[in-house]
C-alpha cells in the first residue's frame, strides 16, 4: 500500500526529474517511472523507488501498484501520444488525483476532455513569469489563478514611513500587501499597523494588471 504522503511521477525528463527530486526534498515518498533506462539510472538512489516501465500499459502500472496512489503526475512531454494514453489508463484505474503536463494548448485540451484533474503548462507558465521579471518591475511573480497574481517588489516611496492602514492602497490601487521583509529579517505578515521603510520588500496580491501597475511604482 502506498504511503499517505506519496506521489508517483511518470516521465523523468527535465521537468519530471526536477519535480520528483523536489518532492523528495520536502519529505514526500516518490515512485519515479520512465521508459528510458538512462533516465531511470540517473535518478537511482535519489527517489524512494525508480523503475523502467511502459506507462501506456495498464498491466505494467498495476504491477507497480499505481492504483494504490492517491496522486500521480504525468510529466511526459516529448511523446504526446504516450502522455494521452498514460492519462487514459490512469483514469480507467480511477486514480483520485491526476496532474499532467501539457506541451501546448491542443495537448492540454485533449487532457482536459479526457477528464484529467489538473493540466499544467510548465513552459508557458515559466515564460510568463520570466517576462514579468525581465520587465524589471517585479522581483518575483506568480500567477496564482487566471487574472490574479502574487508579486514580490520593492516598497514604493508612497508607503515609506506610513502605517499601512493609513495609505488607502487597497482603494487607490486595488491590491493588498500580504507580507513584508525589512533588510534580511524574516518575512512577516502585514497588517494595518505595519510601518514600511525605504529598502523594504513587499508581497502584493491582487488582479494581475493592478499588481503589475503597483510594482512599477518607485
- CATH label of the domain that carries residue 186: 3.30.70.1450
Residues 40 and 132 in one domain: no
Domain closes at, from 72, 100, 120: 120
DSSP state of 4: T
For 57-75, the pLDDT digits (tens) are 999 999 999 999 999 999 9
Residue 142: name the closest of 134, 156, 152 by CA. Answer: 152
For 137-188, the pLDDT digits (tens) are 788 888 888 889 899 999 999 999 999 999 999 999 999 999 999 988 999 9
pLDDT for 2:
58
Residue 174: name the closest of 218, 212, 140, 131 by CA. Answer: 212
Percent of the chain with pLDDT over 90: 79
Give the residue-averaged pLDDT of 10-28.
95
Residues 114 and 129 in one domain: no
The whole domain housing 162 covers 125-215
- Own/partner contacts of 133-136, CB < 8 Å, gap of 24 or more, are none
Amino acid at each position: 500500500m502506498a504511503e499517505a504522503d506519496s506521489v508517483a511521477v511518470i516521465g523523468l525528463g527535465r521537468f519530471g526529474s526536477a519535480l520528483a527530486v523536489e518532492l523528495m526534498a520536502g519529505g514526500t515518498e516518490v515512485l519515479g517511472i520512465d521508459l528510458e533506462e538512462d533516465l531511470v539510472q540517473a535518478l537511482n538512489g535519489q527517489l524512494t523507488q525508480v523503475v523502467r516501465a511502459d506507462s501506456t500499459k495498464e498491466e505494467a502500472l498495476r504491477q507497480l501498484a499505481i492504483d494504490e496512489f492517491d496522486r500521480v503526475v504525468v510529466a511526459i512531454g516529448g511523446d504526446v501520444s504516450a502522455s494521452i494514453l498514460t492519462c487514459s489508463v490512469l483514469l480507467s484505474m480511477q486514480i483520485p488525483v491526476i496532474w499532467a503536463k501539457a506541451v501546448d494548448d491542443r495537448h492540454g485540451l485533449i487532457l482536459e476532455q479526457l477528464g484529467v484533474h489538473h493540466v499544467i503548462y510548465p513552459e508557458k507558465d515559466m515564460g510568463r513569469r520570466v517576462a514579468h521579471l525581465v520587465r524589471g518591475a517585479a522581483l518575483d511573480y506568480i500567477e496564482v489563478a487566471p487574472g490574479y497574481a502574487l508579486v514580490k517588489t520593492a516598497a514604493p516611496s508612497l508607503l515609506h514611513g506610513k502605517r499601512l492602514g493609513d495609505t488607502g492602497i487597497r482603494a487607490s490601487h486595488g491590491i493588498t500587501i500580504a507580507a513584508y521583509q525589512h533588510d534580511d529579517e524574516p518575512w512577516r505578515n502585514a497588517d494595518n499597523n505595519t510601518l514600511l521603510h525605504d529598502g523594504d520588500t513587499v508581497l502584493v496580491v491582487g488582479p494581475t494588471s493592478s499588481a503589475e501597475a503597483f510594482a512599477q511604482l518607485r
